[in-house]
Homo-oligomer: A and B are copies of this chain.
Amino acid sequence: MRIPNHIGIIPDGNRRWAVNQGLSKKDGYTYGLAPGLEIFKLCQEVGVKELTYYGFTMDNTKRRSEQTQAFTKACIESVKLMTKEDCSLLVLGNTDSNMFPQELLPYTKRINFGKGGMKVNILVNYGWHWDLSGLNEKSIKENSKKGIISSLKSKDISRIDLIIRWGNRRRLSGFLPAQSVYSDFYIVDNYWPDFKAQHFYDALNWYDNQDITLGG
């Protein structure tokens, strides 16, 4: 089986899940922590080399403050969970804004935890326009794919092979526009807190049947 080198995770549907459970919207995020750790372990098992989670975006921070506080807390906790695993961890996002949690500043350069290993990227206060604003005159003049990606704010994140989105929506919502240009895009109807390992295996099986052309 052909295993993707790099998987992107869009863990959507926390709020809709919470409302369905009779909870307040803000209470959904904490139920996304266990699935995040579970999928990390599944990726380790099958030999994925890089895993990127869509934490929260600059767009998301326009929501009600009880929600922004709740998803920020969940992101901080998920980073802390990762520091207890074997991985090479990077938190990436716009640190110039006060929506970026100070607790995560120490993780904005890649650090090995445990035995190191799989790269894990968590996007926190990320914005696609912020990311593209990393381009500079030199990279623009050069105008190669590698040159463009290597000067993004997200230059430490490689091209993504497979994006899996939970929660039934079929859109990228600003997720790493340059690294996702050739990504295969798999949608799970279930909300993220209802994550099951089978979703992951279904996505891998589907990916295995795709013809990879990189736009060619």
How many residues of A sit at the interface, in one of the four size bands? 35 or more
Q: Which residue of B lies closest to A171 (CB)?
A: B184
- Given A133-B148, A137-B137, A214-B59, residue A174 in contact with residue B169 (CB < 8 A): no
- Given A128-B181, A129-B143, A143-B129, residue A173 in contact with residue B135 (CB < 8 A): no
Q: A174–B185 contact, CB under 8 A?
A: no
Q: Measured between alpha carbons, how far is A210 from B167 in the docked complex, in Å?
A: 12
- Given A140-B133, A143-B129, residue A60 in contact with residue B216 (CB < 8 A): yes
Chain A interface, DSSP helix/strand/loop, else mixed: loop
Residue of B145, B184, B185 touching A129 (CB-CB under 8 A): B145
A83 within 8 A of B: no
Residue of B63, B133, B182 touching A174 (CB-CB under 8 A): B182
Q: Which residue of B lies closest to A175 (CB)?
A: B181
Residue of B63, B132, B184 touching A135 (CB-CB under 8 A): B132
CB distance from A199 to the nearest CB of B (A): 15
CB distance from A37 to the nearest CB of B (A): 26
A183 within 8 A of B: yes
Q: A140–B145 contact, CB under 8 A?
A: no
Instruction: Encode A104-133 as 1/0 by CB contact (under 8 A) with B.
Output: 000000000000000000000000111011
Interface residues in A127-155 by Cβ distance below 8 A to B read: 128-130, 132-133, 135-137, 140-141, 143-145, 147-148
List 20 additional A-B contacts (Cβ < 8 Å) besides A59-B215, A177-B178, A185-B185. A59-B214, A129-B144, A129-B147, A130-B143, A132-B178, A133-B140, A133-B148, A135-B135, A169-B210, A169-B211, A170-B185, A170-B186, A171-B184, A171-B185, A172-B181, A172-B185, A173-B182, A173-B215, A174-B181, A177-B181
Interface on A for B, CB 8 Å cutoff? 57, 59-60, 62-63, 128-130, 132-133, 135-137, 140-141, 143-145, 147-148, 169-174, 177-178, 180-186, 210-211, 213-216
